Structure 1
Amino acid sequence: MRFSHLGAAPRIHPSAVIAPTAVISGDVEIGADCQVLHGAVVTAEGGAITLGEHVIVMENALIRATSTNPVHIGDHVLVGPMASVSGASIGNETFLATGTRVFNGARIGERCEIRINAVVHVRTILPAETVVPIAWVAVGEPVLILSPDKHEDIWAAQKDLDFPGYVFGLDRDTPDLMVQLTERYGRSLARHADDQPSD
């Protein structure tokens, strides 16, 4: 399904193949010879999404742009099943394996490998040809790549990146953080009530 959102309709190259159960919403441009498979969601929530040429978005993957963080995915990129890319830039010839998570403001260089269930945290910069091992976490700039059992080290690097402040504009120490976050984010997401099919 294709939807217009906030006045913008998807633009899809004629050679791209979009599965009938994929959702493409808003200011999305999909380049030549791309494949977007069943259950994938590519949704521009106020910011643009650009997929280059020969990009493969596999089953149940999510690509989401925000008003402050657009998404750019270069040529010859594979976004694996159940992977998630939110407000990030992905360089050419990069592999995002099954279940990877790439967060807002991240920039991944060319020919990187983000392996199964690995995480690239908010505002993290990965140089070209970096490998993030299975289930490991890349965080910060300069980047630290840490195994999941290094929680204290991950938190020490992550804390200053300020996920709730950067993504939601809220101070982590707000007493009713989740109340404010869900109400504010809910109002933003409610803008989908006016979406129109564009098929």
Structure 2
Amino acid sequence: MSEEAQGIRIRHRGHAPQVHPTAYVAPTATLVGDVRVGPRARVMYGAVLDAEGSRIEVGEAAVICENAVLRGSAVAGDQPVLVGDHVFVGPHATLLGCEVDRCVYVATGATVLQRARLGAGSVVAVGALVHARTVVPEEYFVPPCTVALDAPVRLLAPDDPGLAQAVGRVGFAQVAFSVDAEWTDRISRNEHIAEVRAAEFGTHADDEVLGFGWRSSNAPCTPREDSDRIDDAGEAHDDSVTVDDPRVAQGAVERHASEGSAQDSPADAHMKGRP
């Protein structure tokens, strides 16, 4: 029986992730809430797509690489993450409540903050930061480890003496969290931000895990024809999970059979002979 990766799918605030049948979601990727993964999209190992109170859309043939984080929010107005067709999001990149037009390249470790927009064909190079409300024009290049701010966009180096003041004028806490504390009152501002996030993330207590890792090809899914299957991607991930240690395999079966049971402590695991 063939199987297809669907990742870890979690219903949040009444919304369940939707994955197009021709998309690939790695078994360790996590989709939370109103997440929509489009045709031939690829969401790789360890990526987290968390819609929170908003939504996330991943376009056709878009690639979300390992350990990238995409997070929507609604604590300061609706802030979805909208990823266009043929967008590449590199490993460890972070997209928060932003819009990414088609054919954009976001490199490893880059960050794009709330209400920013990346124009079609633009590039955000390794380690760069696109700050809140910044508009990056089409086919614009944001160099490695620089900070892009404002509209029209301007670039600052990390050691620019005016960077802190420029970032303060962005009003990030207000844009992202509806927190009005002064830029110079960092303790108060950070306290309020943590309170907002704690309340937002507290809603995950009611989450429902819908699927873990894999589903059978004959499980209910969006209707499709056999011709829709991807056979020309060049690197199709028809992967299987192999467990050499039968104790590990048996442990996985037992854990899934007793959903919600507490995990063994390290001492218990040692006594049972598990590493």
TM-score for the superposition, normalised by structure 1: 0.95
Equivalent AA in structure 2 for residue 169 of structure 1: S
Determine whether 1:182 maps to 2:194. Answer: yes
Structure 1 position 158, deviation (Å)? 2.5
Counterpart of 2:269 in structure 1 is none
Structure 1 counterpart of 2:165: 156
Task: After superposition, give the CA deviation of every residue in 1:99-124 in whole Å (9 maximum; x if it has no partner).
Answer: 00000000110000100000100000
Shift of the alpha carbon at 1:180?
2.4
**Cross-structure match for 1:100:** 110
Post-superposition offset of 1:147: 1.9
Tell me what 1:31 maps to. 38
Q: Contact conserved, 1:90 with 1:107, CA < 8 A, in 2?
A: yes
Residue identity in the other structure for 1:41:
V
Partner of residue 179, structure 2:
170
Deviation at 1:145, TM superposition (A): 1.4
Alpha-carbon distance in 2 for matches of 1:90, 1:176: 32
- In the TM superposition, residue 177 of structure 1 has moved relative to its aligned partner by 2.5
SS at 1:50 equivalent: strand
Q: Secondary structure at the match of 2:72?
A: strand
1:196 equivalenced with 2:208 (yes/no): yes
Report the aligned-residue RMSD.
1.2
Superposition deviation, residue 151 in structure 1: 4.2
Is the contact between residue 181 and residue 188 of structure 2 (CA under 8 Å) also seen in structure 1? no
Which of residues 12, 23, 32 is equivalent to 2:19? 12
| Structure 1, 141-150 or 9-18: larger mean CA deviation | 141-150
- Structure 1 distance, partners of 2:161, 2:61, is 37
1:10-61 CA deviation, whole Å, 9 max, x = no partner? 1110011111100001001110001111100001011111111001110100
Residue among 11, 15, 22 paired with 2:29? 22
Higher strand share: 1
Distance in 2 (alpha carbons) for counterparts of 1:53 and 1:39:
20
Secondary structure (helix, strand or coil) at the match of 1:157 reads helix
Gaps of 5+ in 1: none
Q: Which residue of 1 aligns with 2:87?
A: 77
| Alpha-carbon contact 2:54-2:80 (below 8 Å) kept | yes
* Counterparts of 1:61 and 1:151, CA distance in 2: 30
Q: What amino acid maps onto 1:38 in structure 2?
A: Y
Deviations 1:142-193 (A, max 9, x none): 11012222141x3333222201111111123266322222122201101011
Bigger Rg, structure 1 or 2: 2
2: CA distance, partners of 1:115 / 1:27: 29
Are 1:118 and 2:128 matched, yes or no?
yes
- Cα distance in 2, alignment partners of residues 114 and 22 from structure 1: 23
Paired residue type of 1:99? G
Q: State the number of aligned residues.
A: 198
- Percent same amino acid at aligned positions? 37
Consecutive unaligned residues in structure 2, runs of 5 or more: 1-7, 212-275
Bigger CA drift: 41-50 or 166-175? Answer: 166-175
Amino acid at match of 1:85: L
